Chain A
Amino acid sequence: AQSVTQPDIHITVSEGASLELRCNYSYGATPYLFWYVQSPGQGLQLLLKYFSGDTLVQGIKGFEAEFKRSQSSFNLRKPSVHWSDAAEYFCAVGAGYSSASKIIFGSGTRLSIRP
């Protein structure tokens, strides 16, 4: 069965510094991979997704992620974080079923920004 691991529960970075959030997945076939962001008191917003093709995926808000099959990883990166990036970030893996796609979410990484 597919699963997602986000090894970092909480990360703090300084504003303007670079960011990398780790994500490892377990899935037998080529996975569909996602990163979502959740601001306090809000629902989840899709940052980016990988289905196939170029392993470096660009998303919204200046985020990117790189799919590495050999490492079963899909790490999220941003070259320079802003205070507004403080939020909870969820990595997810999806599998297609007959009619409904089911997405498995990681436990999330909380990002704090140091002024």
Chain B
Amino acid sequence: QQQVKQSPQSLIVQKGGISIINCAYENTAFDYFPWYQQFPGKGPALLIAIRPDVSEKKEGRFTISFNKSAKQFSLHIMDSQPGDSATYFCAAVSNFGNEKLTFGTGTRLTIIP
């Protein structure tokens, strides 16, 4: 019940295209859903996050779509650029739990020219 399932494992998108990464969870106690971007040899960096009381959050080219009833959320990267090539992790945490992030398995995104 603590799992967060992430797909796809890897993704290749052409420059200017839309990159879409999906995550699904089971634990209904999760109430905060961040996305992290990680470059090789670096720590994850917070990209964008959402709470379940909204269905969408947009920050620049990055958008989270959240479907509470389906227990799914996704990251959309619009106008994808080569600099977006990285590994992306979705995560979930319960504010009233033990504060531990539950990570997805990661998606390696490659943007090709």
User: Do A and B associate with each other?
Assistant: no
